[in-house]
Amino acid sequence: MKNKEIKILLTAPRGFCAGVDRAIEIVKKSINKYGAPVYVRHEIVHNKHVVDSLKEIGAIFVEELKEIKDKSRPVIFSAHGVPKSVPVEASEYKIEYIDATCPLVSKVHREAENLYKANYHILLIGHLNHPEVIGTMGQLPNGSIDLIQTVNDVKKYLKKNKKNIAYITQTTLSVDDTKNIVDALKKKFPNIKEPLKKDICYATTNRQAAVKKIAKNCDMFFVIGSRNSSNSQRLVEVAQQAGCKDSELIHSTSKIPFNKIKKCKTIGISSGASAPEILVKEFINKIKNKISVKINEIEIIKENITFKVPRKLN
Ligand code: SF4
């Protein structure tokens, strides 16, 4: 028997962003144009469901180009971007490549190049080993960019040369945590050059703002997304920082805590920029099978951004 009704607050915007939509479209259109298989370097976006569905239509995922068995087949670079050495390596192998780097990540790459040309030493705020960070650092010669992950890193940072300092950031960071790091940087280097337009992208910003708005009114908060999805992980942290301590990521092997959910009055749900809406629907349906729910979607802003796929795929 179902027990008392609980309220589900569903955040909007949530889920796919324009960069993820475009990257998936690039893989599908490439398979249409070139036939299967088409190789993809790294998970095209960080979501198992997306990766598995693309495998089914003929995508083969590799981490490095040297793993590509049939080098006569094209390869797609993931939405996170790649170091400059990767297209060079593809050309050496004579592999045709299609770049699915999100235009907002490419913007940060161009920013880094322009700062380097203008003789700045660059600090990149981001997470060690995230593919986007590897890609951005790989736009410039080794040693041109230093990674800053925390306020403590700022405190410990020692200038390496006489150049003026500029900072750029990963696109999927926590807006609030990044502000603290930027404040610490500005305090330490009052003349630091800032990006003209914030590097944290519109999708990350909107999803975090939507979570922040409702998480404080929730007894539990769930973010649908993969463990390696930076923006999904950040949404969990944002929900916790906004006041919902019991916030967690729901990934492909998560167990849903029905017993805890039953005891809630209100739960919140969002999804990372790489998580398809079907996963949100499935999660809600699993809850509905055991618990009566009333769903209320709270939209804080309408998104209408789209990115075109490379012309050669049209
Ligand atoms: S999260 Fe932002 S930067 Fe990343 S793919 Fe989406 S729009 Fe692009």
pTM of the predicted protein model: 0.96
State the pLDDT at residue 189. 97
Taking residues 287-297, what's their average pLDDT?
97
State the pLDDT at residue 197. 87
The percentage of residues in the chain with a pLDDT greater than 70, rounded to a whole number, is 99
Number of residues that make up the chain: 314
Residue 218 is encoded by which pair of tokens?
A: 């929730």
273 three-class SS: coil
8 Å CB contact between 164 and 121: yes
Instruction: Give the integer Cα–Cα distance in Å for 75 and 82.
Output: 13
- The chain-wide mean pLDDT, for the chain, equals 97
Residue 179 is which amino acid?
K
- DSSP state letter for 308: P
Q: Is residue 244's pLDDT more than 90?
A: yes
How remote is the CA of residue 57 from the centroid of ligand 1, in Å? 24
Ligand 1, atom 7, residue with closest C-alpha: 19
Taking residues 275-280, what's their average pLDDT?
97
C-alpha distances out from residue 133 to 35, 105, 108, 137, 210, Å: 32, 10, 10, 6, 25
Q: Is residue 20's pLDDT more than 70?
A: yes
How remote is the CA of residue 21 from the centroid of ligand 1, in Å? 10
Taking residues 48-74, what's their average pLDDT?
98
Q: Is residue 1's pLDDT more than 90?
A: no
63 is catalytic: no
Taking residues 74-83, what's their average pLDDT?
98
State the pLDDT at residue 2. 60
State the pLDDT at residue 186. 98
How remote is the CA of residue 264 from the centroid of ligand 1, in Å? 33
Taking residues 59-86, what's their average pLDDT?
98
**Pocket, ligand 1, Cβ cutoff 6 A:** 17-20, 79, 102, 104-105, 171-172, 201, 203-204, 231, 273
Taken in order 13, 14, 15, 20, is the CA torsion positive or negative?
positive
308, exposed or middle or buried, with CB in 10 Å at 0-12, 13-18, 19+? exposed
What pLDDT, in 10s, does the model give residues 177-231?
999 999 999 999 999 999 988 999 999 999 999 999 999 999 999 999 999 999 9
